[in-house]
Each structure stands twice: as structure tokens, then as C-alpha cells.
Amino acid sequence: MTDLHHYLFVSGLLFAIGLAGVIVRRNIIVIFMCLELMLSAANLTLVAFSRFHTVNGLPDYNGQVLVFFIITVAAAEVAVGLAIIVALYRARQTVDVNDLTSMRG
């Protein structure tokens, strides 16, 4: 049988891979994808807990609603983020984070 550990471990693994991608990659679009991956990994945790913590014989739908919200917000985030990237690319002609250092204090 697959118990909660399995799901949590898969979720953690996905999160770790996403994190590694954020750290290692320099293409800002790929970094963005990795962030999405990390969000989805968190979703997996939520859904798993929802299923494993039943309330009155049903899955805990609070968790699933939260996943729904996260996906919605993530969609908005992607839209805005990509728009920013496009604007950034227009101004700088690059998507390499090593060239985007104007925030240096």
C-alpha cells in the first residue's frame, strides 16, 4: 500500500528538484518553471493530507480548496511574471539572471 510517507517524499523530492533548478539555472524563464514546480509539489502535500485526514468519512475539502486557490493565484502569477519578463527582455535584451543585477545595493 502507499501511505502518506510516499506522497510526502515524492512531494519533497519535487520541491528539492525545483529548488535546485532555481539555484542552478540562469534562464529566468526556466527559474520560473521551477518555481511552478515547487508550488505544485506543495499542492501534492495538501491533497495527500486532505485524503489521509478524513472528516466524517469524506476527504478534508478545505485542503483541496486551498489547492484550487493556489493554482488560481499561480496562474495569475505566471501571467504577470511572464509579462514582466517580456518587458524586461524588451529593456535589456536578456533573460540571464547574471546580467540582471541592477538591484545591487
Partner 1 sequence: MHPALFYIFAILAVAGAVALVCFRNPVSSAMAMVASFVGLAALFVGLNAFFVGVIQILVYAGAIMVLFLFIIMLLDLRVEQKAHYRGPIVAAGVLLPALFLIQLLGVLQNMPAEDPEPLALREASRQFYNPDIESPSEQSVIYQSLSDRKDPSLPDVHLVGNTLFMRYNFPLQVVGVLLLVATVGVVALSKKAAPGTAKPPQ
Partner 2 sequence: MDPFWLFLIFPFAAAAAIQLGLKRNARLSAFVSTLSVAATFVLSVVFLGSDNPNSHFNWATTSGFSIQIGLQLDALSRGMMFVVTGVGLLVHVFSLGYMKDDDGKARYFCGLSIFMFSMTGIVLADNFIMMFIFWELVGFSSYLLIGHWFQKDSAADAAKKAFLVNRIGDFGFMIGILMLWGLAGSFVFDSMELPAQGPLLTAAMLLVFCGAVGKSAQFPLHVWLPDAMEGPTPVSALIHAATMVAAGVYMLFRLQFSVGADLFANASGEIIAWIGAGTALLAALMATQQDDIKRVLAYSTLSQLGYMIMAVGLAGHHGLTAGEAGMFHLYTHAWFKALLFLGSGAIIYACHHEQDIWKMGGLAKRMRGTTATFAIATAALIAVPYLVSGFYSKEEILMQTLSHGHVTPLFFVAVFVAFLTPFYMTRLFIVTFLGKPRSHGAEEAREVPTVMLLPLLILAVLSVVAGFKPIAGMFSAMDPRHGHHDGAALVLAASAGTLVAGVLLGFLVYRRRDADPLASNALFKVFRNKFYIDEAYAKVVRFGQDAVAAIAHFFDEFLINGLLVGGLSRGAAGFGNLFRRLQSGNLQGYAILFAIGILLVIYLTVFMTP
Partner 3 sequence: MIVLLILIPIAAAIAIMAGAPARPAALGAALLNLVLGAIFALTFTGNPDDGGLTIQILEKPNIHLALGLYDGMSIILMLLTVIVTFAAVLSGRCPEGTERIWFPSTLFIAAGALGAFLSTDLFFFYAFHELALIPTFIMIGMLGRGDRKEAAWKITIYLAFGSIVLLAGLLWLVNAAGADSLLFDDLLASTIPADQQKGIAAFLLVGFGILVSLFPFHSWAAPAYASAPAPVSMLHAGVLKKFGLYGLLRLYPMISEGLQPWLTWLIVLLLGNILWVGFVTINQKRLDLMLGNSSVMHMGYVFLAIAALIAAGSESANPIAKPAAIVLMFAHGVSIALLFGLSDRIERKTGTLELRDLGGLAKSAPSLAFLFGLAGLASIGLPGLANFAGEVLVFLSGFKEFADDPAGGLGPIQVATILSLWGVVISAVYILRAYRRTFQGPVVTATDGARDLTFAERIPAVFLAFFLILPGLYPNTLIQFMAHDAPSAEPPQIVHDADRPPLGIPRWSPGEGSMLTEH
Positions that interact with partner 3 (CB under 8 A) = 55-56, 58, 60-62
Cβ nearer to partner 3, comparing 48 with 95: 48
Q: What is the C-alpha end-to-end distance of the chain, expressed in Å?
A: 53
Total number of residues binding partner 1 (CB under 8 A)? 75
- How far apart are CB 5 and partner 2 at their closest, in Å? 16
Measured distance CA(7)–CA(10) in Å, rounded: 5
Residue 101 near partner 2 by CB under 8 A: yes
CB 25 → partner 2: shortest distance, Å?
9
Helix/strand/coil percentages in the chain, nearest 5: 75, 5, 20
Q: What is the DSSP string of 11-27?
A: HHHHHHHHHHHHHH--B
Per-residue cell: 3: 501511505
45 binds, among partner 3, partner 1, partner 2, none (CB under 5 to 8 A by kind): none
Q: Provide the binding-site residues for partner 2, judged by CB under 8 A.
A: 19, 22-24, 26, 28, 31, 97-98, 100-105
